[in-house]
Amino acid sequence: MKTLKYSIIVMLSVIILYSCDSSFLDEELKSNYSPENTLKDSLGLEAAIVGLQASVREQYTLGEPQGLLAIFQNGTDVTVQGNFQGVETPFSNYATLNAQSEGVSFFWTWAYKVINNANQIIYYANDESLPLSEKGRNSFLAEAKFFRAYAYNFLATLYGGVPLITEPIDKPKTDFTRASVRDVNDLIIDDLTFAVANLPRVGSVKIEGRINKGAAQHLLAEVYIRDNKPDLAEQQCKDLIGSGDFNLITARYGVKKDAPGDPFSDMFIYGNQRRRQGNKEALWVIEQEYNVPGGSANANDQHRRIWVAAYYQISGMKIADSLGGRGIGRIRLTYWVTNKLYAANDMRNSKYNIHRDFYYNDPANANYGKKINPAPGDTLFKLCPYTTKWNHFIPADEFGYGVFKDHIRMRLGETYLLLAEAQFMQSKFTEAAESINVLRTRAHADQVQASDITLDFILDERVRELIGEENRRMTLARTKTLVSRVKALNFQANNTIQDYNMLLPIPQSERNLNKDAVLDQNPGYQ
Amino acid sequence: MIKFITLIRYLTVYSLFMIASLQVLAQGKEVKGLVTSSDNQPIPGVSIVIKGTTSGTSTDSNGNYTLTVPDNEAILVYSFIGFATQEKRVGEDAVLNITMTEQLNTLQEIVVVGYGTQKREDITGSVSSVPKERLAQLPVTNVLHAMEGTTAGVYITQNSSAPGSSASVLVRGVNSITANTSPLIVVDGVPFSNMGGTTNDINPNDIESIEILKDASAVAIYGTRGSSGVILITTKRGKSGKPSIRYNTYAGMEYMHHTITPLKGAAYSQKYLDYSKQRNQTPNDPPVPNQYEFANYLAGKETDWIDAVSQQGYIQDHNLSISGGTESVKYFVSGAYQKQQGVLKGYEFKRASFRSNLDVNITPWLSAGTSLFYANNDYGGGSVNLTLATQMSPYGIMYDKNGNYEIYPMRPELLYKNPLLGLNRDEVNKSNNLNGTFYIDIEPTFLRGLKYKLNTNYSYLPTKFATYSGLAAGQTTGGAASINNSETSSWLVENILFYEKDLGKHHIDLTGLYSAQETNFFTSTINANTFINDGLSYNGVDAGAVATVNNTSRSNVRPYRTALLSQMGRVNYSFGGKYLLTLTARRDGYSAFGSSTSKYGFFPSVALGWNVSEESFLKNIEAINNLKLRVSYGRTGNQAVGAYQTITSQGTTKYIYNGKTYTGVVSSSMQVNGRLGNSDLNWETTTGTNVGVDFTVLDQRISGTVEVYKTKTKDLLLLRQLPNISGYTSILDNLGAVDNKGIEVTLRTVNLKSGKFTWSSNINYGANRNKIVSLYGDNKDDIGNKWFIGKPLRAVYDYRLEGVWQNGEDASKIDPGAKPGDLKFYDKTGDGKITSDDREYLGSGLPKWTGGIINTFDYGNLHLSIFIQTFQGAVVTNSMLNTGDQTGRINTPSQLGYWTEENKSNTRPSLAYTNPRGYAYPVKQDYTRIKDITLSYTFPQSTLGRIGLGGLTAYISGRNLYTFTDWVGWDPENDYNSSLDFTGNNYPYVASYVMGLNINLK
């Protein structure tokens, strides 16, 4: 009997002891990386830079809501709503723009996610115990600071002073307050000054596609202009142009150099956009590629769908490579852009760069080959002129929900425009005219004189050069010209825009969630 | 080794002793007899015990028994679940035939309570048993569907009728916001849902009983997994006697229950014209949006796409079981096959399952057994898309000139593909559950009343999913394949000690538990695309030009390990069967709790019961057969933290440099989110009180239970939204508190009894009030998350719809930018402007009350049961009403309607409305449903004898027969998150009609 009792006790004890192993309840993270176990050497930091750039790419490449990209063009001087989706409507009808408008919070969120990723890298790279050389440490810091400055510049330009976060958040925080624009600008300038000093020149980056000194100089110049330091901006532009690392594209090149076209249009052809592909003008290219892992954020980049017209909705028209694939014309160029802006001889207005005329292309159609005479209403989004910069056609993907072109985020052409702006601000009108004439020479357009130079002229020239590329809302907000130019040039938004619309509202959801402090709303928004 | 030899020696000695005692017994007298029910059916498995001893036997499959008794004074006790226990003195007779009477009074019923069983009359907590008739003769593939609406305080929602879909369950409201609120499902003592099993793995025919533990006293023994209630499922086991072979089968048809009808030709064309006008666009001529529609429009040829994707649904079920045994070995073995073909083409569900439950009495002090089962669920292959079918133009082109499905029926519209393309998608979707439980019971003879049980379980659940879409399935880009495999393996070891002791009128019952459990999950996914041709389907995934691999399951779960270590103790004490006391305590340690915590939670409870009717002052009152009061108080938890959620982590992402792929880590991005960890994260704690009355009155004509309860859950695991300024959008945190209080009534009545006719009812009613008590401790609402202090969870917070702006009305002041045809909202703040502050609380998605009534009519062997279920007081958003910006491009349900200048609708907006304020269209979800009607006939024994059967019941049953509701859309119960959007898919609610047979071989 005793033995049985004993056996039971032994049996119980064995099971209990087995279960009582002290590590039984310990948890070891095995299915994800964490900052602590990853950002501890150069391999981890390299991976974090890749992740950071992937998060930066998401700015303009995600698909939902589909009309999002249009908010930076509609309600400015360059485009109006075409076949709209809805999310962009408040930005054309400013009476409906409010702190709940989805576009307002989407990009705000994007920017702070990038900032957090950059802060993680800066925080860990600054850890002296990490096995990094001084140069290696500074190169990680410089890259992270560049992108942090890029995101803060986006916020400061569109929203004004915003909460300033410089270290990764490690616990919930709900008492953010807005910093002054001054403080935000100081951080951006600090970051970019460090980046300019420590980033490699474009020829010596670790891998082509990593950020380089030229991009930092270009961004710093833009920030200096916004911060009313035109002399410093001019210096950055001149250093960059003078470095000889980049040059304007003035001759045909690339995959379609023998097809009809011009040097300007060559830059925007899939396969031509990167430096290695011959584009020596590009300072910073955000890469995308069809059907390559990592080739896009989520394969949903909406650029073609917003910019390219829905010509195939006309009977007798089919989707064509030469017409840029399947757009849906969510936005269309304003009358000012299509009819007033360009001189006829301007290369940037060539049929390779602005598509204007349509010809029936369905062989089954009786009018095949004939030019279409648009019916009233057809030019709203089906047969409206459009920039060809987002033309893209992949035969396997006719529907083409997403576009896979690279984004030339910065190029030397714009550097000349920033230079001109900085010179104009210092009343160096002759120099400003010279800077602009560099671009006009390339475009075979008429030269301008010092007397032609005004802020509006520079802003016009930016459209000629950068339509489809620049975030027009940022440019007009930066130069405080949004309201005046919309009133003059945008028939759709001119009646509803008011002075306070120069800045976007602070997202209401953020204000609600930030329960322990007040995030002041920008004046005019409720 | 020495111990083993000692054991053998002991066994030998013990066996000799046993033989000796049998010889003593053998000197008595042999009695035999037949035990039958009141309708003369023999009852197998009736337990017959000589009173005051443990010796006895049970009836064989024909209801016969033989037993040797010491003398004529012996009293035999006959007992069987569902029948009144009888005692009979042996007397002079050698044949004792007994007729058992069915018992409405369920007090003697043995109820499974978790780590043991109890008599109903001894229960102090809130334990509901699912009515037995709900477990048979119903055409359901999932046992939860059978339970829907039958038990007070248990809300079961069948989210989809698609073959193989499960249901969601809430017990007594929602006591968590972000954590899982499904009850823990325990099958034969094994925490099944906790180990990866789904209710689809359980063959409903194998189930003997289902109990639902609801109050803190009943669930506290499940510690950190108890707070959402516990469902205990017990499968059938063998009884001694001749083998009993049963074959149960049914087959029948399924139909769409509640359908919507897309606009027909003329109305569709008119909608396009109206859309063009309202959006200031020039319409095409002919007036249809797309070129491909022109020809059919001009020819007047229309397609009914709903008809094209539909088919006759059917369901069939076969179930064979063999059970029986001897005194020492009892077995229950079953095999089942079920097949359901959906009402939409391609939808299918098949389940094959086997079960073997074995109990072996090795020696008088040692018994052991197993519960083994295997289930294979096959969720079918490629299927049609009903959402697309409702969106297709009636003039769209179904077939191309080669007779294949036209990929884009409304070309040049390329967003909406042919709804039938999915039929050409190769797909396999299977899950398996291989599950084995082994137990040993040791009841040492030196200490009567002591029992030790070792319960062990291992489960292995592999799943396989593979899909391939080629050109025929609409994949124009060269084929796309996706394969996902996963496996979940778990083990469980439980050591349970029981001790039972009677001391005079005192009865004491002790239970102690020490257990450990571990679950490991692994998964991998391969996606590949761009194949040479479609010949290899998913079997040639390595031929894809582009392949990506990840470790994420189809529901986005990454590999993990969790472990649980627990101790539990329980004391049941009763005095004279009148006063009852239950004390329990459980301590649970769970691996996923934050590293800064102890990882252990402690959950005590106390419950008291008073069988008032046993008191002398009530004993003589004829009208009251039974009256019992119960009260309980206790604490339970919700562990619900997933593995690794307390640790700050990063996601991985990919980027290209010069076209070459690099992998990166990212803490926060719009696409891939890392997590902000919280090392203080702990369980949620629910403290609750339950007061109940059980009664049986009027000569057992009416019995029932009324319970009221109040629970408070604090330290809620909230996925708390953070300002995005943080870089993170949310963090899991222990915050806030919610209250639930409610009342539950269950009534069983015999309404009419006259001769062979009986009409009885089973009524249940449950009302629950849920409210948020606190959130962040600052008494502020969280508008961003729609959490409002003092209001229920699942709040609908939106504008109050006043109507639609009409021509001539001036919106410019109150809602600048609004055009005629836009929705008009109520200016709640009265400041003359519509702003976000005008939104208000409009209701909650939680029902105010639910109920069900089962009416049963018996006439002789004829049995009719009618079950009506109701769901009242919930407000939810109806995404069917929110057509977004797509109304001009697709067909819409004719039930929707839209504003025009002429019809001046005051409920629906114009087709140009873009919903700039994100109005979500809240509506009432109320419905009342005739859930099922079953008519069955049990053939009399006299007939059956001639055809050589032991028993035969035939029935017809209809399910989801009619629904009373104001809901617009497929069905109020189905939870369609997808709007009229190309990404979602719908499945209609289904009505079924079946015929079935339950055959018992002799």
Amino acid at A93: N
Neighbour-count burial of B258, counting CB atoms closer than 10 A to its CB (0-12 exposed, 13-18 middle, 19+ buried): buried
Most confident among A226-230, B201-205, B428-432, B885-889 (mean pLDDT): A226-230
* Residue range B263-283: mean pLDDT, rounded: 89
Which residues does chain A have within 8 Å of residue B789's beta carbon, measured at their own beta carbons? none
Per-residue pLDDT of chain A (526 residues; tens, 9 = 90+): 455 555 555 555 555 545 455 688 988 888 889 998 899 999 999 999 999 999 999 999 998 889 999 999 999 999 999 998 889 999 999 999 999 899 999 999 999 999 999 999 999 999 999 999 999 999 999 999 999 999 999 999 999 999 999 999 988 899 999 999 999 999 999 999 999 999 999 999 999 999 999 999 999 999 999 999 999 999 999 999 999 999 999 999 999 999 999 999 999 999 999 999 999 999 999 999 998 989 998 889 999 999 999 999 888 899 999 999 999 999 999 999 999 999 999 999 999 999 999 999 999 888 999 999 988 888 899 999 999 999 999 988 888 889 999 999 999 999 999 999 999 999 999 999 999 999 999 999 999 999 999 999 999 999 999 999 999 999 999 999 999 999 999 999 999 999 999 999 999 989 988 989 999 999 999 7
Which residues does chain B have within 8 Å of residue A294's beta carbon, measured at their own beta carbons? 653-656, 661-663
| pLDDT above 90 coverage of chain B, percent | 49
Q: How many CB atoms lie within 10 A of CB B251?
A: 15
Report the Cα B930 to chain-centroid distance in Å: 20
Distance from the B724 Cα atom to the nearest Cα atom in chain A, whole angstroms: 5
Instruction: Measure CA of the first residue to CA of the last residue in chain A; give whole Å.
Output: 84
Across the interface, do A289 and B546 touch by the CB < 8 Å criterion?
Answer: no
Distance from the A175 Cα atom to the nearest Cα atom in chain B, whole angstroms: 9
Across the interface, do A51 and B653 touch by the CB < 8 Å criterion?
Answer: yes
A18, A28, A46, A50: which to substitute to probe chain B, counting the most B Cβ within 10 Å?
A50
Instruction: Measure CA of the first residue to CA of the last residue in chain B; give whole Å.
Output: 48
- Find the closest chain A residue to B548 by CA distance: A293
Q: Is pLDDT above 80 for B326?
A: yes
Distance from the A448 Cα atom to the nearest Cα atom in chain B, whole angstroms: 38
- Find the closest chain B residue to A290 by CA distance: B659
Q: Is pLDDT above 90 for B987?
A: no
Across the interface, do A117 and B833 touch by the CB < 8 Å criterion?
Answer: no
What single DSSP character describes residue A340?
Answer: I
Token look-up 């005739």 returns: B930
Tens digit of each residue's pLDDT (9 = 90 or more) over A370-379: 999 988 888 8
Q: Residue A116 belongs to what H/E stretch? A: helix A102-125
Name every residue whose Cβ is closer than 8 Å to that of residue B242 and which is 6 or more positions away in sequence: B44, B60, B61, B62, B324
Vertex A103: Cα angle to A499 and A411 (nearest 5): 85
Across the interface, do A115 and B591 touch by the CB < 8 Å criterion?
Answer: no
Distance from the A436 Cα atom to the nearest Cα atom in chain B, whole angstroms: 31
- Find the closest chain B residue to A59 by CA distance: B670
d(CA A520, CA B593): 38
Which residues does chain B have within 8 Å of residue A7's beta carbon, measured at their own beta carbons? 3, 7
What confidence score (pLDDT) does residue A310 get? Answer: 94
Q: Is pLDDT above 60 for B387?
A: yes
Q: Is pLDDT above 90 for B97?
A: no
Across the interface, do B658 and A209 touch by the CB < 8 Å criterion?
Answer: yes
B440 near B454, Cβ under 8 Å?
yes
A234 near A222, Cβ under 8 Å?
no
B357 near B237, Cβ under 8 Å?
yes
Across the interface, do B659 and A98 touch by the CB < 8 Å criterion?
Answer: no
Tell me the sheet residues that pair with B762: B748, B854
Q: How many CB atoms lie within 10 A of CB B712?
A: 16
Q: Is pLDDT above 80 for B819?
A: yes
Identity of the residue in A44, A396, A510 whose CB atom sits nearest the CB atom of B723: A510
B247 in helix, strand or coil? strand
Across the interface, do A54 and B669 touch by the CB < 8 Å criterion?
Answer: yes
Tell me the sheet residues that pair with B998: B248, B953
Read off φ and ψ for residue B655, nearest 5 degrees. -145, 160
Q: How many CB atoms lie within 10 A of CB A180?
A: 13
Q: How confident is the model at residue B917 (pLDDT cuts 50, 70, 90)?
A: confident
Distance from the A81 Cα atom to the nearest Cα atom in chain B, whole angstroms: 12
What confidence score (pLDDT) does residue B24 get? Answer: 41
Across the interface, do A27 and B643 touch by the CB < 8 Å criterion?
Answer: yes
Across the interface, do A30 and B559 touch by the CB < 8 Å criterion?
Answer: yes
- What stretches of B26-88 show up as alpha helix (H) in DSSP? none
Read off φ and ψ for residue B62, nearest 5 degrees. -100, 10
Tens digit of each residue's pLDDT (9 = 90 or more) over A240-277: 999 999 999 999 999 999 999 999 999 999 999 999 99
Distance from the B363 Cα atom to the nearest Cα atom in chain A, whole angstroms: 14
Across the interface, do B589 and A25 touch by the CB < 8 Å criterion?
Answer: yes
Distance from the B914 Cα atom to the nearest Cα atom in chain A, whole angstroms: 5
Identity of the residue in A24, A173, A294 whose CB atom sits nearest the CB atom of B565: A24
ipTM: 0.94
Token look-up 């508190």 returns: B737
Identity of the residue in A86, A93, A512 whose CB atom sits nearest the CB atom of B784: A512
CA nearest neighbour of A191 among A227, A230, A220, A222? A220
Across the interface, do A291 and B665 touch by the CB < 8 Å criterion?
Answer: no
Distance from the B985 Cα atom to the nearest Cα atom in chain A, whole angstroms: 19
DSSP A289-332: -TTSTTSSSSS---HHHHHS--GGGSTT----TTTTS----SEE
Which residues does chain A have within 8 Å of residue B658's beta carbon, measured at their own beta carbons? 207-209, 274, 276, 287
Over the range B783-814, which residues count as b (16 or more CB within 10 Å of their CB) and which as e?
A: bbbbbbbebbbbbbbbbebeebbeeeeebeeb
What confidence score (pLDDT) does residue A511 get? Answer: 94
Per-residue tokens: A6: 């004993």
* Residues B263, B266, B267, B272, CA torsion sign: positive
- What mean pLDDT value characterizes chain B? 87
What confidence score (pLDDT) does residue A15 get? Answer: 52
B413, B668, B914, B982: which to substitute to probe chain A, counting the most A Cβ within 10 Å?
B668
Across the interface, do B780 and A298 touch by the CB < 8 Å criterion?
Answer: no
Tell me the sheet residues that pair with B314: B253, B341
B98-100 and B29-37: which strand pairing?
parallel
Distance from the B764 Cα atom to the nearest Cα atom in chain A, whole angstroms: 42
Distance from the A451 Cα atom to the nearest Cα atom in chain B, whole angstroms: 42
d(CA B198, CA B200): 5
Across the interface, do A515 and B560 touch by the CB < 8 Å criterion?
Answer: no
- Find the closest chain A residue to B517 by CA distance: A19
- Please report the number of interchain residue pairs, chain A to chain B, with beta-carbon separation below 8 angstroms: 323
Half-sphere exposure of B16 (CA within 13 A, CB side): 5
* Residue range B765-777: mean pLDDT, rounded: 89
Tens digit of each residue's pLDDT (9 = 90 or more) over B638-691: 987 888 989 999 999 999 999 999 999 999 998 887 889 998 898 999 999 999
* Residue range B60-69: mean pLDDT, rounded: 82
- Find the closest chain B residue to A49 by CA distance: B664
Q: Is pLDDT above 50 for B19?
A: no
Across the interface, do A62 and B565 touch by the CB < 8 Å criterion?
Answer: no
Per-residue tokens: A38: 């990853």
What confidence score (pLDDT) does residue A3 get? Answer: 55
Across the interface, do A98 and B836 touch by the CB < 8 Å criterion?
Answer: yes
Across the interface, do B657 and A96 touch by the CB < 8 Å criterion?
Answer: no
For chain B, the C-alpha Rg in angstroms (whole number) is 32
Tell me the sheet residues that pair with B436: B372, B458
* Residue range B878-892: mean pLDDT, rounded: 80
Over the range B115-144, which residues count as b (16 or more CB within 10 Å of their CB) and which as e?
A: bbebebbbbbbbbbbbbebbbbbbbbbbbb
Identity of the residue in B546, B560, B646 whose CB atom sits nearest the CB atom of A292: B546
Read off φ and ψ for residue B452, nearest 5 degrees. -115, 135
d(CA B439, CA B457): 9
A34, A66, A361: which to substitute to probe chain B, counting the most B Cβ within 10 Å?
A34
Distance from the B591 Cα atom to the nearest Cα atom in chain A, whole angstroms: 4
What confidence score (pLDDT) does residue B633 get? Answer: 96
B981 in helix, strand or coil? coil
Across the interface, do B776 and A515 touch by the CB < 8 Å criterion?
Answer: yes
Across the interface, do A32 and B650 touch by the CB < 8 Å criterion?
Answer: yes
Which residues does chain A have within 8 Å of residue B284's beta carbon, measured at their own beta carbons? 315
Per-residue tokens: B64: 């016969």
Across the interface, do B412 and A93 touch by the CB < 8 Å criterion?
Answer: no
List C-alpha distances in Å: B316 to A320, B132, B995.
52, 21, 9
d(CA B376, CA B352): 5
Q: How confident is the model at residue B6 (pLDDT cuts 50, 70, 90)?
A: very low
What confidence score (pLDDT) does residue B943 get? Answer: 81
Token look-up 């009355």 returns: B693
Which residues does chain B have within 8 Å of residue A496's beta carbon, measured at their own beta carbons? 816-817
